[in-house]
Amino acid sequence: LAKTTQPISMDSYEGQEVNITCSHNNIATNDYITWYQQFPSQGPRFIIQGYKTKVTNEVASLFIPADRKSSTLSLPRVSLSDTAVYYCLVAQGGLTGGGNKLTFGTGTQLKVEL
Amino acid sequence: NAGVMQNPRHLVRRRGQEARLRCSPMKGHSHVYWYRQLPEEGLKFMVYLQKENIIDESGMPKERFSAEFPKEGPSILRIQQVVRGDSAAYFCASSPPIGQGADTQYFGPGTRLTVL
């Protein structure tokens, strides 16, 4: 499984855009990039998943360059409630992918202040 | 559509007792995963099951831990003769069948096990 590297922590203020970058130099052809959010005492919550270029949903955007060796999760206009740990994972996926164990790192602790 | 359900949410056991953790996957999901999380750490994979089959148990300790996902009923993670080091949050996740987005896992709220 591809190893990921992301910052340990980030600080931001309400209303700002937050970009969290993840490195995954050894990503395989069949791997997808997935981001999860975890609040204290809760299970991780799926945010977004992508394979290449840009993916956007109602919560976030995911930017993936052509070489796919990194990805950036973009959270527009964060609020206090976005304070959480954000995990970047890569694993074989897509509609043809089977079930896979996910490898979580320590994630990025995002702290949003007023 | 109810999410992944886990019970109990909190479980206290004394050393040497058994712990049983239950997980009901989301409706229509046929894959179940168990993860363990220690304080200040990321989740660690333990086991991946489909109905009546263990697919990958590479993260399970060799002794005292077992898991099942019967044809009927929830998935069970069983820890025999618990020790203090088993104290952790145990998360269950489920995903749809292969070909229907099996790569996306949805997590339950977790069971927090405390061993006295």
Q: How far apart are the first and last CA of chain A?
A: 38
Euclidean distance between CA atoms B51 and B63, whole angstroms: 23
Tell me if B103 and A105 make a contact (CB, 8 A cut-off).
no
Q: What are phi and psi of B86, to 5 degrees?
A: -85, -10
pLDDT in tens, B71-105: 999 999 999 999 999 999 999 999 887 665 556 88
Give the pLDDT confidence score for residue A30 in this predicted structure: 83
Given a cut of 70, is residue A8 above it in pLDDT? yes
pLDDT in tens, B49-61: 998 899 999 999 9
DSSP state of B86: G
- Give the confidence band of A95 by pLDDT, cuts at 50, 70, 90: very low
Mean pLDDT of chain A: 90
Closest chain A residue by Cα to residue B100: A95
- Give the confidence band of A96 by pLDDT, cuts at 50, 70, 90: very low
The answer for B 57-116 residues in CB contact with A (under 8 A) is 58-59, 89, 91, 93, 95, 98-110, 112
Tell me if B59 and A101 make a contact (CB, 8 A cut-off).
yes
**Which stretch, A49-53, B32-36, B52-56, has highest mean pLDDT?**
B32-36
A13 touches chain B (CB under 8 A): no
Residue found under tokens 């489920």: B94
Given a cut of 60, is residue B1 above it in pLDDT? no
Give the pLDDT confidence score for residue A18 in this predicted structure: 98
- Give the confidence band of A100 by pLDDT, cuts at 50, 70, 90: confident
Q: Average the pLDDT over B18-32 and give the result.
A: 94
Give the pLDDT confidence score for residue B30 in this predicted structure: 86
Give the pLDDT confidence score for residue B48 in this predicted structure: 93
Euclidean distance between CA atoms A40 and A83, whole angstroms: 10
Burial of A109 (0-12, 13-18, 19+ CB in 10 A): middle
Given a cut of 50, is residue B15 above it in pLDDT? yes
- Give the confidence band of A3 by pLDDT, cuts at 50, 70, 90: confident
The amino acid sitting at B89 is A
In sequence order, what E strands does A1-114 have? 9-13, 18-23, 31-38, 45-50, 53-56, 61-64, 70-75, 84-92, 108-113
The answer for A 65-94 residues in CB contact with B (under 8 A) is 87, 91-94
